[in-house]
Structure 1
Amino acid sequence: NSECIDGEEYPIDIWLELAGYIRPEDVCRFALICKNAWTATCTAAFWTRLYRRHYNLDAELPDRLQPDSIRRMQCLRARVIRSLFHLYEPFSSRVSKSPALPESTPTTLLNSKCLLFWVNKVPGSRSESMWEFNFKLVKLPTKIKNGCNGGLQLPKQYKDVHTNPDSDCYLLRVTTLNFIFTSVVMGMTLT
């Protein structure tokens, strides 16, 4: 019994070179071509080049998304993806077009724990200021039925690149005309 294998296996260097030409919205499709293409999208070089391709000096980015912070490996992928929502028009327009409160939000937030809560006074459309209540929520992990993780394991040398402390987190922002006293909600679970 000889195993028949159709096709060629190309080295990761070729996949890294090709990755320099894909659009941000095609990263997932590219990674699904083969294991070496996926490995190329795991590298710091891939995410750094993607950032540089779309960065421009006129962009108004938060400090944590500036080029100096992109040089650090820790959470690189998450920072590049966040920066693309500021720098890359198809992503930024997607955010501006989406409704403020999607229909799925209330059920999506069930069984989420409040990690952080803060209030900001923001200028309103009228002469009076408005109040913005922010709740950072994390989705509590669900039990895996068969105990199997199921996905490809990241190469060890790229774990820092893919670390994302905000994974499974949501930001619930409520804006009101009047300040409303809110009791302590940090640590509580939304049921």
Structure 2
Amino acid sequence: MPKNTRKCKKKVKTRQTVTSALSALSVERLKVAEDDRSWDEKADDDEFDDEYKEGVNDEHGGAGRRRGKRKYSTKETDSDITEGIDLPLDIWFLISEHIRPEDVGRFGAICYATFYVISTGRFWNTLYKRHHRLISQLPEELTIWNMERLRGLKANVIRALFYMYPPFHARIAGEKPLTADPTRLLRTQCVLQWHSKMGSIYRYYFKFSKQMQNKKRLTSAREGLPALMTKDSLIHVNDNEGCYIMEAVASCICAVPMVMGEYLHHAGLGVSADLRSHRLHLSLAPAHLLPSTASAKSRKYQVPYKEVMLEPVRDVRVYPWWHPQYWKCGR
């Protein structure tokens, strides 16, 4: 009898060890499964556990607790709010002396203080002197002894950087023929047109302006700025802001109607019918006959468009006001 009791005890112990091992293995599997689940599934289980614990406490006489999901307050506490550091204006001026020309816009968008820094003549004078180089192609009005005047200082410095700053100059030199996009000038007004002849080459020029659009945008953007930044300054004066010149080089003379005062509705640069040359097609109309939006349906059968057809063309370029070639077209 004692021997049998020992065997029974051994069997009971082995069964206990097996069951404990199985339970430990199941717990590990559950942990792995929980880790594999997404965060939102885990959050649901946490809420269920909270409800279960609250229900158990209520059954056992827990006072002051209600059943249901916990309500998390969305109010920010004092510990959650982190206040920024208001740097002195002199620190921003020192930092601005190390800003690259292509990062001026990003620097000015940091805060009101940086926007004020790039709106001063000190900033643009420093930027010009930092990148100044003696270049024979630099126009007379952009030389260092003619940069002391405040009127139009910002525009003059930007123009000069496309002569002196190597990344900007490389961007201009890397332009390839017949790669310009004339559709960027849609809904702009043609304020001037002319042509010139050099040998057997004819050059046609169209000057487009979107100054009214820029003025409306700047006016709406300055409404929420402090009074110190909304004051008119001579350094921001730019009579050519929002202006572009389209140059089309043709190998023969083309009949071009008078389109000054009209607005560009359609512009296309493609291949001619014989597939041997390129063709530039422009359609212009008065402002009151244009569609309300650029994506609106065309009313070509109702609007008396003026068509400009240049064929064959060797090259088509679009020069913004800061482009060096922009100022050479009229000379």
Q: Of the candidates 167, 183, 197, which is equivalent to residue 107 of structure 1?
A: 183
- The answer to whether the 8 Å contact 2:206/2:245 transfers is yes
**1 or 2, which has the higher helix percentage?**
2
- The answer to whether the 8 Å contact 2:211/2:243 transfers is no
Greater C-alpha radius of gyration: 2
Q: Work out the CA distance in 2 between the residues paired with 1:29 and 1:10.
A: 18
Quick check: 1:134 aligned with 2:205? yes
Identify the range of structure 1 (134-143 vs 19-28) with the bigger mean alpha-carbon deviation. Answer: 134-143
What one-letter code is carried by the residue in structure 1 that aligns with 2:244?
Y
Q: Which has the higher contact order (CA 8 A, sep 6+)?
A: 1
- The answer to whether the 8 Å contact 2:152/2:235 transfers is yes
Q: 1:17 to 1:157 in 2, by over 3 A?
A: farther
Deviation track 1:95-116 (CA, whole Å, cap 9, x = no partner) reads 222444556x332222211122
- The answer to whether the 8 Å contact 2:147/2:153 transfers is yes
Q: What is the match of residue 116 of structure 1?
A: 192
- The answer to whether the 8 Å contact 1:111/1:140 transfers is no
TM-score norm. by structure 1 comes to 0.79
Q: Of the candidates 67, 80, 85, which is equivalent to residue 162 of structure 2?
A: 85
Q: What is the match of residue 183 of structure 1?
A: 257
Identify the range of structure 1 (39-48 vs 28-37) with the bigger mean alpha-carbon deviation. Answer: 28-37
Paired residues in the alignment total 182
Q: What is the match of residue 221 of structure 2?
A: 150
Q: What is the match of residue 125 of structure 1?
A: none
What one-letter code is carried by the residue in structure 2 that aligns with 1:155?
M
Q: Work out the CA distance in 2 between the residues paired with 1:116 and 1:69.
A: 29
Q: What is the match of residue 62 of structure 1?
A: 139
Q: 1:161 to 1:140 in 2, by over 3 A?
A: closer
Q: What is the match of residue 118 of structure 2?
A: 41
Q: Work out the CA distance in 1 between the residues paired with 2:147 and 2:194.
A: 27
What one-letter code is carried by the residue in structure 2 that aligns with 1:23?
R
Q: Which runs of 5+ in 1 are unaligned?
A: 123-127
Q: What is the match of residue 25 of structure 2?
A: none
What one-letter code is carried by the residue in structure 2 that aligns with 1:189?
Y
Deviation track 1:70-101 (CA, whole Å, cap 9, x = no partner) reads 22212211111111111111011112224445
Q: 1:69 to 1:190 in 2, by over 3 A?
A: farther
Quick check: 1:18 aligned with 2:95? yes
Q: Which runs of 5+ in 2 are unaligned?
A: 1-76, 266-331
Query: Which aligned segments of 4 or more residues in structure 1 are displaced greater than 6 angstroms?
Result: none
Give the Å deviation of 1:38: 1.7
TM-score norm. by structure 2 comes to 0.48
SS at the partner of 1:42? coil
Give the Å deviation of 1:156: 4.8
Q: Work out the CA distance in 1 between the residues paired with 2:128 and 2:231.
A: 20
Deviation track 1:26-75 (CA, whole Å, cap 9, x = no partner) reads 11122122221221111111111111111212341123322344222122
Q: Of the candidates 52, 63, 69, which is equivalent to residue 129 of structure 2?
A: 52
- The answer to whether the 8 Å contact 1:76/1:162 transfers is yes
Give the Å deviation of 1:157: 5.3
**Cα RMSD after superposing both structures:** 3.0
Identity among equivalent positions (%) equals 34
